[in-house]
Amino acid sequence: MIGKKEYTNTIELQLLKKEKASLESKVFKQQQDQQLLKEKVVNLESEKETLKQLIDRAEKGSISQILLKDVKLRSNIRDEYEFEEIEDLATDIIANSQLQPALITNDNYLVSGHRRYYAVKLINSDNQSPKLKDMLENSINKPDYLVVYKLAKNSSEISDLELADLQYSENNERRSIDNFQLSKMYNSYLNKGFDQKDLVTKFKKTKGIISSIVSLKKVDPVLVRFLKEFQIFAWSKSRFIEETKSEMNDLQEQFYQNNRGIIGWKPLYNLAKQEDFSFQREIFLNLYKNRLTEQELNSEYFSETITINDSDQDKLIIINSAIKHTKEIYKLIAKLDKNPMVDNIINDIKSIEKRLSDFCD
């Protein structure tokens, strides 16, 4: 007959064996995940090498011209272009011709060189500024074609991710893409089945940065438009026109030089993590109010927004975060089987959420 101590030891041994088996299972799962990640990295590197080979096989020895009307468009990593930057490139093409060829597929789909495409299109349009019209009247160079290298593959043979890689490389080399465009690209990878670990490996950024940039898709589109204008003009486009009606003074010139350019991901992430657009507007005004016109500040969009100071902003961020976590707790508790205790907890959570919301009001 087994004694009590021996029985206890047997039970403990069985538990230890179960724990060991569980740990071994977890280790095996981690090894599998690591192997899958390695395979994805290998595939990404293979795609990268394929892209290099595609470019190498382009007919670079015989640069050709293609009529603009024959060029076809696919998706592009840069979803927006400011008129001013396209006009600047158009004036350069009129003065010096198109010095850098674009890249197209064998069946005439544009792979990279979208700014050049839109610049030539502007040259041949009716939507020209007096400056551009004057240049064209005094120039014999009015190209209606695009100078290109042609790949040895059709568009259907290049995947969307390969296309994004090509455009990312081209934009990185010629003109930095902003964090909103990066967010669009990262999210396109996630939608194709990649995860954030893959993006960390591919783009050599920390998981925190990748996650923050991915979240920028949550920023109010109206604020995105203003932020994109800040990157080009330092102020909103309307405020820039006001500031430059006459020659800028030293302070204006200094502000213009110091505040244009790509906005870092951190202030953008502070906006994105606020789920409510009204919170985003308040933080936006606290950061960028001095870049807007009076008309913009008094617009219906901003008129109901209360500007907050730094200390209030910190409180607002904390409270908004607390509301978010309260909602998450509510969702978890709501999954439990209903009983009086659960009902009381749910009512308490609702009460806390309301009090937090009232505090913000």
Q: How confident is the model at residue 60 (pLDDT cuts 50, 70, 90)?
A: very low
Nearest to 103, CA basis, from 182, 185, 158, 47: 158
Q: What pLDDT shows up at residue 53?
A: 54
DSSP three-state, residue 260:
coil
Q: Are 287 and 266 in contact (CB under 8 A)?
A: no
What are the tokens at 79? 């979803």
pLDDT, residue 49, reads 57
Q: Which pLDDT band, with edges at 50, 70 and 90, does 338 fall under?
A: confident
Condensed to tens digits (0 to 9), the pLDDT of residues 263-272 reads 999 999 999 9
- Residues 212 and 264: beta-carbon distance below 8 Å: no
- Distance between terminal CA atoms of the chain? 73
Selected residue with higher pLDDT from 56 and 102? 102
Does the pLDDT at position 318 exceed 70? no
Side chain identity, residue 321: S
Q: Is 70 exceeded by the pLDDT of residue 305?
A: no
C-beta of residue 132 within 8 angstroms of C-beta of residue 90:
yes
More confident: 76 or 133:
133
Q: How far apart are CA 146 and CA 116, in angstroms?
A: 8
Residue 27 pLDDT greater than 80, yes or no:
no
Does residue 177 contact residue 129 with C-beta atoms inside 8 Å?
no
3-state secondary structure of 112: strand
Residue 360 has pLDDT above 60, yes or no: no
Beta strands in the chain (DSSP E): 64-67, 72-73, 102-104, 109-112, 145-150
- Arithmetic mean of pLDDT, 121-133: 86
The strand pair at 72-73 and 64-67 is best described as unpaired
Band (pLDDT 50/70/90 cuts) for residue 136 is: confident
pLDDT at 270 (0 to 100):
93
What percentage of residues in the chain have a pLDDT greater than 70? 72
259 neighbors 234 (Cβ within 8 angstroms): yes
pTM of the entire predicted model: 0.57
pLDDT over 70 (residue 275): yes
Question: What are the CA-CA distances from residue 66 to residues 25, 99, 163, 194, 360 (Å)?
Answer: 59, 15, 20, 36, 59
